[in-house]
Amino acid sequence: MKGIILIMDGMGDRPIKELGNQTPLQAANTPNMNEMVKNGITGIMDSIAPGIIPGSDTAHLSILGYDPYVVYTGRGPFEATGVNIDVEEGDIAFRCNFSTRNEEGIVTDRRAGRIRDKTEELAKAINSMKLEDYPNLKIIFKESTGYRSVLVIRDSGLSDKVSDADPKVDGKKVKKIVPLDDTKEAKKTADILNQIIEKSYTLLKDHPVNIERIKNNKDPANVIIPRGAGAVPTVEKINSKYNINSACIAETGLIMGICRLAGMDIVEMEGVTGGIDTNLEVIRDTILDKVKNSEHDFFLVNIDGADEAGHDGMAKDKKEFIEKVDEVVMSEIKNLEDVYIFLTADHSTPVSVMNHSGDSVPVLIKGPEIRVDDVEKFSEIDVAKGGLCRIRGSDVMNIMMDLIGNSEKFGA
Amino acid sequence: MKGIILIMDGMGDRPIKELGNQTPLQAANTPNMNEMVKNGITGIMDSIAPGIIPGSDTAHLSILGYDPYVVYTGRGPFEATGVNIDVEEGDIAFRCNFSTRNEEGIVTDRRAGRIRDKTEELAKAINSMKLEDYPNLKIIFKESTGYRSVLVIRDSGLSDKVSDADPKVDGKKVKKIVPLDDTKEAKKTADILNQIIEKSYTLLKDHPVNIERIKNNKDPANVIIPRGAGAVPTVEKINSKYNINSACIAETGLIMGICRLAGMDIVEMEGVTGGIDTNLEVIRDTILDKVKNSEHDFFLVNIDGADEAGHDGMAKDKKEFIEKVDEVVMSEIKNLEDVYIFLTADHSTPVSVMNHSGDSVPVLIKGPEIRVDDVEKFSEIDVAKGGLCRIRGSDVMNIMMDLIGNSEKFGA
């Protein structure tokens, strides 16, 4: 028996006037999901807890059976996994800005003129950096979106107990990073960071990309400013924790990063974008192929488009994307046999909020031996009358493992 | 006001083809339970947490207000209470096999030819054992079902941090028990155990029961092999914890053992079997008599037959047993006045699984001042729409104590 957790990222929503005071999911024509509902059990779910606004990262951690309040050590490590840096336990990761400083060290623009282009070339210059004082230190640096980037340092004896370099406002000096406790690890890490910041200026100030930016009257991205230090957490691998052979089918680096941290195999897909223009046929065919032909028995699938439409405030787009997923993906998924399918969202991304919210999300479980309730439509409101009542993200793996026969009895 | 928690052991189930894709409870004709539902409030319950597969022991601990993750110290102590050994706090208990060893100490059959008969005579021989080195040591030994038995040792300065003697496979020597930490308590306990194992061979090898077995070409049960050491936990007595006067009306040793550990009075019943052939009239009359005539104000009742039918994979038997309980027991229980009745199961034992599962169980509370919802049938699906929504085993005692007016306000 196999199991699929299929997450429609950000699918949950609130009633929207434009859609006749319905949510996009309520308003959507979803015959295939509704058929699954009629053969399944439904309910609502709080990925973390009622009213708590989850990130996609913390929500997925919770749904995969990890306590985000324990495992989520800060944005750094998850940003790093999100840009496909293959982090290791013990690495210290930082979110960074490309910024502009002058010769006196004053930050004149924290976002380097909101640079968007050629940051990968700048990143390459940093990524090759070596520090003479720390011959064993490995520095990994990668651009993210816009002026954002990620720094990972790897060495023995490091600590995440160091301050930020970000002065928070323009017109101030890059802050010297200081240790936040008395350990030699924190002192070493702070010294390394200060050297990296200083050296980034040396490496970037005359970089061809910046020469060109200055010529075009744009602020050069001539220094990196790290913040949000976090140690890559030690995470019990999901395969040994639950005795499964698991794979991740996802579009975005952030979700793949979390699954990689959990030790899951990452399935590569061509032509997917993470947006509403993604290639749903590829996602569908990948799911069908892997479920039928691979040795994996557990899958985490994430389809991202509904979240994007929510962030962009596009009600009609969100509704239409949900309909497209129903038509292209669910029409086939619903026919899988000997598979338990747990269909849900990681969080709500209401069109009116244009960001995540703490509203619960709908849940549907379909499979061979499921107790079937009398709910007939997959929507945030209808499923609240279902046989699951209200569960939490932290229940998902336990429920799934019980259903696919992968759990052990606690007691006699 | 009195309270009864009435547990139909293993009653929860999944839809079964043979029963028209209904669960046994759904399919069962239960006019009396349905009448209680119409005058009560309903919901679903996870004895421990959603998806977690409870044992009957851990589920009952949770329902009685104890955290099984704290209190459940291993099988040994609960097996011991299960065979009616009156354990005391600090006792160390072990599950044992009667096994067969040869003169060189090699275990030739871990289950002593799956011995079934006269184990009580063999157990008596061990139960009288004394060790010269430990004059204050008390050794309690009792047969369980088949080749299984239980050993309890009582003395000052003992520990449950000792290894198992079980070689796990035939053809190997009885393993020497070793201390698992550096304490003198663990060393003492390991030494005691090794002496008991050795002496058991001396006491059993020429025992008349074994002489006869050898004559009949059966493996002699000539050594005991202990495993699963557990210290009997310190448990706050339920009567003082909740200010009640409680009694247990149960069929099986395991449930009586847990209730005894909780300090409840154990009501003896004649003619009950724990199976679907049990004498339900006796159980009914015992409940009615004790509720009306005893000074107890709180009862834990356990009726075991549905669990047996589930373990045996007998859908029709399970349905019919539920109907019989409805007809014989509920027909009278439903008329009790000034009593709150909490009707539920400790866990699901789906016929298809033939073992416990993590599916939630139905809950019904009936009593003088209960909020009545509009559910009309007692089943796993119907009650999910009830006024209680989804609760946990750990909520039961708090809800019950509030209803019978036995709780104090927390705050002003």
Write out pLDDT tens, residues B357-387. 999 999 999 999 999 999 999 999 999 999 9
Instruction: Report CB contact under 8 Å: A389, B355.
Output: no
Instruction: Report CB contact under 8 Å: B54, A412.
Output: no
Same domain, A88 and A16: no
DSSP letter for B54, please: B
Judged against a pLDDT cut of 90, whether residue A145 lies above it is answered with no
* Identity at B241, one-letter amino acid code: K
pLDDT at B222: 97
Judged against a pLDDT cut of 90, whether residue B67 lies above it is answered with yes
Q: Which of A37, A67, A371 to mutate to test the interface with B (most CBs of B within 10 A)?
A: A371
Q: Tell me the average pLDDT across B83-93.
A: 88
Residue A54 lies in a domain: yes
Distance from CA of B358 to the nearest CA of A (A): 6
Which residues in chain A have their CB less than 8 angstroms from residue B389's CB?
389-390
Which residues in chain A have their CB less than 8 angstroms from residue B15's CB?
369-372
Give the largest Cα separation in chain A, rounded: 76
Same domain, A36 and A66: yes
Residue B238 structure tokens:
């339920």
Q: How far is CA A254 from CA A160, A378, A395, B64, in A?
A: 21, 27, 22, 43
Same domain, A103 and A192: yes
With a pLDDT cut of 70, the percent of chain B lying above it is 100
Q: CA-CA distance, A199 to A131, in Å (whole number)?
A: 9
Picking from A302-311, B79-88, B344-353, which range would have the lowest pLDDT averaged per residue?
Answer: B79-88
pLDDT at A25: 98
pLDDT band at B145 (very low <50, low <70, confident <90, very high): confident
**Boundary of a domain, candidates B231, B250, B272:** B231
- Closest by CA to A59, choosing from A399, A390, A361, A398, is A361
Q: Which residue has the tokens 């198992």?
A: B164
Instruction: Report CB contact under 8 Å: B358, A391.
Output: no
Judged against a pLDDT cut of 80, whether residue B74 lies above it is answered with no
The whole-chain average pLDDT of chain A stands at: 95
Q: Which of B15, B57, B358 sits opposite A369 (nearest CB)?
A: B15
Q: Does B272 touch chain A (CB under 8 A)?
A: no
Q: Tell me the average pLDDT across B323-350.
A: 97
Report helix angle A119-127 to A208-215, nearest 10. Answer: 140
Q: What are phi and psi of B213, to 5 degrees?
A: -60, -45
Tens digits of per-residue pLDDT, A35-93?
Answer: 999 999 999 999 999 999 999 999 999 999 999 999 998 778 888 987 888 888 889 99
Residue A38 lies in a domain: yes
Q: Tell me the average pLDDT across B20-46.
A: 98
Distance from CA of A398 to the nearest CA of B (A): 5
Q: Which of A1, A243, A396, A409 to mutate to test the interface with B (most CBs of B within 10 A)?
A: A409
User: Which residues contact residue B65 at a Cβ distance below 8 angstroms, ignoring those fewer than 6 apart?
Assistant: B238, B241, B242, B394, B396, B397, B398
pLDDT band at B73 (very low <50, low <70, confident <90, very high): confident
Q: Where are the alpha helices (DSSP H) in A297-394?
A: 305-311, 315-325, 331-333
Instruction: Report CB contact under 8 Å: A395, B50.
Output: yes
Residue B199 lies in a domain: yes
Cβ atoms of B303 and B258 closer than 8 Å: no
Same domain, A94 and A212: yes
Same domain, B251 and B398: yes
Judged against a pLDDT cut of 80, whether residue B244 lies above it is answered with yes
Same domain, A182 and A239: no
pLDDT band at B86 (very low <50, low <70, confident <90, very high): confident
User: Which residues contact residue B119 at a Cβ distance below 8 angstroms, ignoring those fewer than 6 apart?
Assistant: B98, B143, B146, B147, B149, B221
* Percent of residues in chain A assigned helix, strand, coil, to nearest 5: 35, 20, 45
Residue A225 lies in a domain: yes
**More reliable by pLDDT, B144 or A125:** A125
Q: Does B32 touch chain A (CB under 8 A)?
A: no
Q: Does A399 touch chain B (CB under 8 A)?
A: yes
Which residues in chain A have their CB less than 8 angstroms from residue B381's CB?
371-374, 387
- Closest by CA to B356, choosing from B6, B14, B5, is B14
Q: Which of A387, A390, A400 sits opposite B381 (nearest CB)?
A: A387
pLDDT at B81: 82
Q: Where are the alpha helices (DSSP H) in B128-207?
A: 184-204
Instruction: Report CB contact under 8 Å: A412, B51.
Output: no
Rg, chain B, Cα only: 23
Q: Tell me the average pLDDT across B80-109.
A: 91
Buried-exposed string B352-391: b where 16+ CB fall within 10 A, e elsewhere: bbebbbbbbbbbbbbbeebeebebebbbbbbbbbbbbebb
Q: CA-CA distance, B270 to B279, in Å (whole number)?
A: 9
The whole-chain average pLDDT of chain B stands at: 95
pLDDT at A78: 83
Q: How far is CA A22 from CA A12, A30, A45, A92, A194, in A?
A: 12, 14, 19, 45, 53
With a pLDDT cut of 70, the percent of chain A lying above it is 100
Q: CA-CA distance, A39 to A334, in Å (whole number)?
A: 10
Q: Tell me the average pLDDT across B305-314.
A: 96
Q: Which of B54, B352, B389 sits opposite A390 (nearest CB)?
A: B389
Same domain, A221 and A125: yes
**Boundary of a domain, candidates B231, B262, B282:** B231
pLDDT at B278: 95
Instruction: Report CB contact under 8 Å: A371, B355.
Output: no
User: Which residues contact residue A215 at a Cβ distance below 8 angstroms, ignoring those fewer than 6 apart?
Assistant: none
DSSP string, B101-127: E-TTSBEEETTGGG--SSHHHHHHHHH
Q: Which of A371, A374, A398 sits opposite B358 (nearest CB)?
A: A398
pLDDT band at B173 (very low <50, low <70, confident <90, very high): very high
Q: Which of A371, A398, A403 sits opposite B49 (nearest CB)?
A: A398
Q: Where are the beta strands (DSSP E) in B57-182?
A: 92-101, 107-109, 138-143, 148-154
Q: Which of B44, B49, B58 sits opposite A389 (nearest CB)?
A: B44
Same domain, A158 and A138: yes
Which residues in chain A have their CB less than 8 angstroms from residue B55's CB?
409-412
Q: Which of B49, B55, B381 sits opposite A412 (nearest CB)?
A: B55
Q: Tell me the average pLDDT across B94-99.
A: 94
Q: Does B54 touch chain A (CB under 8 A)?
A: yes
Distance from CA of B270 to the nearest CA of A (A): 25
Q: Does B251 touch chain A (CB under 8 A)?
A: no
pLDDT at B78: 82
Residue B355 lies in a domain: yes
Q: Tell me the average pLDDT across A128-142.
A: 95
Interface subset of A 82-111, CB within 8 angstroms of B:
none
Interface subset of A 365-394, CB within 8 angstroms of B:
369-374, 385-392
Q: Which of A369, A392, A407 sits opposite B352 (nearest CB)?
A: A369
**Boundary of a domain, candidates A231, A265, A286:** A231
What residue numbers bound the domain in which A178 lies?
79-231
pLDDT at A82: 76
Same domain, A325 and A344: yes
- Closest by CA to B258, choosing from B287, B235, B241, is B235
pLDDT at A79: 83
Q: Does A272 touch chain B (CB under 8 A)?
A: no
Same domain, B39 and B83: no
The model's pTM: 0.87
Q: Which of A372, A386, A398 sits opposite B50 (nearest CB)?
A: A398
Residue A412 lies in a domain: no
Distance from CA of B397 to the nearest CA of A (A): 21
Residue B376 lies in a domain: yes
Same domain, B227 and B246: no
Question: Could you tell me if residue A51 is left (phi over 0), alpha (psi between -120 and 50 degrees) or otherwise beta?
Answer: left
pLDDT at B260: 87
* Identity at B387, one-letter amino acid code: G
Q: Which of B18, B53, B83 to mutate to test the interface with A (most CBs of A within 10 A)?
A: B53
Number of structural domains (chain B) is 2
Same domain, B241 and B189: no
Buried-exposed string B243-278: b where 16+ CB fall within 10 A, e elsewhere: ebebbbbbbbbbbbbbbbbbebbebeeeebebbbeb
Chain B residue nearest residue A391, CA to CA: B50
Residue A270 lies in a domain: yes
Q: If you count residue pairs, one on A and one on B, with CB atoms under 8 Å apart, how many are there?
A: 93
pLDDT at A73: 83
Tens digits of per-residue pLDDT, A233-268?
Answer: 888 999 999 999 999 999 988 898 899 889 999 999
pLDDT at B311: 94
Judged against a pLDDT cut of 90, whether residue B329 lies above it is answered with yes
Question: Could you tell me if residue B329 is left (phi over 0), alpha (psi between -120 and 50 degrees) or otherwise beta?
Answer: alpha
Q: Which CATH number goes with the domain that contains A296?
A: 3.40.720.10
pLDDT at B144: 86
